[in-house]
Amino acid sequence: MAYYECHGHIFMDGHVFRDAMELHRNGVVREVVDERLGLLREAGVVYYRDGGDRLGVSAYARSRAEEYGVEYRTCLFGTHKRHMYGGLVGYAFDTASDFRALTARAKAEKADFIKLMISGIMDFQSFGGLTGGGLEPEEIPELIKIAHGEGFRVMAHVNGAERIKAALEAGLDSVEHGYFMDDECLVLLKETGAVWVPTLAATAGFAGRSGFVQGVAEANLRHACEMLRRAKELGVLVAAGSDAGAVNVPPDRGIHIEHTLLAAAGLTPEDVRRGDNAIRKRFVYGG
């Protein structure tokens, strides 16, 4: 089977991300990236959409991927509001005009799309809990409009119904993670044709981890699977992305885990391929 990894980070190795960043701190360690591309090929991955890093690792991977038979797309770096989650994978902006400058930089460096961090991450302390901060819903439309105006599709890290709705109403192209949706979010996904990439493997990777409240990852996952069942009924586009390289998500075979989890949530391989194809077709510059 040929797999599309619709959400990965080639710089991460499935363990502690700080060590992964440290490795490339003084320049991309090319052998490591080449080895990982080789492992992706062995795992059957033919398409990879990278959610970015700050060290040029995904840019190097893109330059090498063809040799490994992988169609590679990357935002190069993510973007986030200062003091908000996202510093690991990108650059901060304070104002919309700073964001415009980052978009121009992405264009100059030939990014394939823009990655925008809209909310915090799951805190795994209580069901539905998110780390603080995030864009105000009213800040979101202008940013998406700027990126679209420059010819980019927008991939957004976003959890929580209120922000997901605001982003979809503003024309967001793909919802990454998308935890704690409600029915209105699903209807908006269907109406706008945006794609949901639930990254179930990354959440499953938190199950049983020390330092987090036991059972919360499982509860969050159950809720996402319930929403996925309804998404299927509505005909929402859902794509497979494992957040490859995140903690407990193997950088090469994370996508296999994701497919198993999506199947358990009731999605057929054909359902997933429809979402995967939409991602692959749209997330190119000018696409």
> Taking contact as CB under 5 A, which single stretch among the options 101-109, 163-171, 240-248, 251-259 is the one that binds Zn ion?
240-248
Size of the site for Zn ion (CB under 5 A): 2
The answer to whether 50 contacts Zn ion (rule: CB under 5 A) is no
Residue least distant from Zn ion (Cβ): 51
Q: How far is the CB of 268 from Zn ion (least distance, A)?
A: 25
The answer to whether 53 contacts Zn ion (rule: CB under 5 A) is no
- Cα–Cα distance between 285 and 122 in angstroms, integer? 30
The answer to whether 90 contacts Zn ion (rule: CB under 5 A) is no
> Taking contact as CB under 5 A, which single stretch among the options 76-84, 179-187, 225-233, 235-243 is the one that binds Zn ion?
235-243
* Helix runs in the chain, H state only: 17-23, 30-42, 57-65, 96-108, 140-149, 161-169, 183-192, 200-204, 216-234, 254-264, 269-282
Q: Which residues pair with 80 in a beta bridge?
A: 92
The answer to whether 5 and 45 are in contact (CB under 8 A) is: yes
- Strand, coil or helix: 34: helix
Interacting residue with Zn ion among 51, 86, 251, 254 (CB under 5 A): 51
The answer to whether 271 contacts Zn ion (rule: CB under 5 A) is no
Q: Among 121, 117, 104, 191, which residue's Cα sits nearest to residue 154?
A: 117
Cα radius of gyration rounded to whole Å, the chain: 17
The answer to whether 243 contacts Zn ion (rule: CB under 5 A) is yes
The answer to whether 254 contacts Zn ion (rule: CB under 5 A) is no
Cβ proximity to Zn ion: between 39 and 247 the closer is 247
Q: Where does this chain bind Zn ion (CB under 5 A)? A: 51, 243
